[in-house]
Amino acid sequence: MKLGDTAFALILTIPLIALVLSINIYPIAYSFWLSLHDISLIKNTITPVGLQQYAKALSDTIFHGSVFVSLRFVAESVLLVVFLSLGIALVLNEKIRGLPVLKVLVILPWALSEFAVAIAGRFFLDRNYGFLNALLVSLGIVKEPLYFLNAVNAVDWLAFFFAWNVTPIGAYFILSALQTIPEELYKQAKVDGASALQRFRMVTFPFIRYALLITAVLATILSASSIVLFFALTGGGPGFASTPTTLYAFRVFFNAQDFGYGAALSWLLLAFVITISVLYFRLLSRRR
């Protein structure tokens, strides 16, 4: 019997999709069912409440704060990831001595788990034994160690360490795009008298646009889902100053054990991530 290509491909692919979906559909459906109920562990009751849990989110000021933290974190992370990746890729694209060593150094932060990144962040920023404070004090820039993870700046530092972790992959995406640019185009542009900025805009940018976009997509989706970094670096504090929606939903689930409300919050988050992903896929498929 001779199989067509499509049938052959389906035989090889369907089992994987079945596995991944079976382990994902149940949790998603179950958490939606939870979000329509009020579950009390003390009274041991499950009461259907319709959309009340979602209505509760509308008037929950801590939830509002967490949405603001999430949006700020995602925006800062994406900007940092895109610009740092581009900068690093441009450096790696130069013909410099020690390039192989630099390439290895650049990939290192990507190899760290989100947890290890958070702990490295702690040891970098800690007031008592952090490296940054030790350096600033020993150089005489500050007299007393600074408290970096304060209510105002904690989110900025979280975004910085998120970007530190994700940047290598973005830099490598952009680098591989940079290396497809023919040398002659630059020479031609120079002959035509284009400035460095013009050369970047007219020659470089069209070649790396797709890689930049993919980097932004990855950074958005990953940063919107990020939770371990917050949990392990700041614990969401001080107060709720660095608690994003992911961590707040988790705390409502597991610390407050308000399963219905936690599920509703996680569904709002899911809706947000799906909306962003769909918008990006639209953008990616139109831009060709």
Partner 1 sequence: MVSVRKILVYVAAAIVGLYSILPIYSLVIISLMDVRDVVAGNVFPVNPNINAYLRIFGFDVVGPYGPLRAYGGYEGLMRGLTNIMIVAPTVMAITIIAVVPAAYALGRLRVRGRSALVLTLLASRSLPPVSVALPYFFLFSQLGLRTSLIGMIIVHLTITIPITTWILMGFFAALPRDLEKAARIDGCSRLGAFRRVVLPMAAPGIAATAVIAFLFSWNDFFFSWLLSQGTPAATYNAQLSGFFNFQNEPAMFAAAVTVQILLATVVATALQRYIVRLRIVDPGAVVVET
| Rounded CA separation 171/87 (Å) | 8
Q: State yes or no: residue 210 binds partner 1 (CB under 8 A).
A: yes
Nearest to partner 1 of 58, 196 (CB atom): 196
Contacting partner 1 within 244-283 (CB under 8 A): 246-247, 249-250, 253-254, 259, 262-263, 266-267, 269-270, 273-274, 277, 281
Whole-number minimum distance, CB 78 to partner 1, in Å? Answer: 15
Query: Which range, of 49-57, 120-128, 147-155, 199-207, touches partner 1 by CB under 8 A?
Result: 120-128
Give the three-state DSSP class for 221.
Answer: helix
3-state secondary structure labels for all residues of the chain? CCCCHHHHHHHHHHHHHHHHHHHHHHHHHHHHHHHCEEEECCCCEEEECCCHHHHHHHCCHHHHHHHHHHHHHHHHHHHHHHHHHHHHHHHHCCCCCCHHHHHHHHHHHHHCCHHHHHHHHHHHHCCCCCHHHHHHHHCCCCCCCCCCCCCCCHHHHHHHHHHHHHHHHHHHHHHHHHCCCCHHHHHHHHHCCCCHHHHHHHHHHHHHHHHHHHHHHHHHHHHHHCCHHHHHHCCCCCCCCCCCHHHHHHHHHHCCCCHHHHHHHHHHHHHHHHHHHHHHHHHHHHCC
Q: For partner 1, which residue of 56, 60, 145, 186 counts as binding (CB under 8 A)?
A: 145
Asked whether 88 and 106 are in contact (CB, 8 A), the reply is yes
Give ∠ CA 32-38-41 in degrees, rounded to 5: 115
Q: State yes or no: residue 28 binds partner 1 (CB under 8 A).
A: yes
Size of the site for partner 1 (CB under 8 A): 101
Nearest to partner 1 of 241, 276 (CB atom): 276
Q: For partner 1, which residue of 132, 185, 194, 241 counts as binding (CB under 8 A)?
A: 132
Contacting partner 1 within 49-108 (CB under 8 A): 84, 87-88, 91-92, 94, 96, 98, 102-108
Whole-number minimum distance, CB 241 to partner 1, in Å? Answer: 19
Q: For partner 1, which residue of 54, 83, 110, 148 counts as binding (CB under 8 A)?
A: 110
Whole-number minimum distance, CB 192 to partner 1, in Å? Answer: 19
Q: State yes or no: residue 230 binds partner 1 (CB under 8 A).
A: no
Whole-number minimum distance, CB 71 to partner 1, in Å? Answer: 15
Q: State yes or no: residue 44 binds partner 1 (CB under 8 A).
A: no
Query: Which range, of 5-13, 61-69, 149-157, 183-191, touches partner 1 by CB under 8 A?
Result: 5-13
Nearest to partner 1 of 26, 205 (CB atom): 26
Q: State yes or no: residue 241 binds partner 1 (CB under 8 A).
A: no
Q: State yes or no: residue 27 binds partner 1 (CB under 8 A).
A: yes
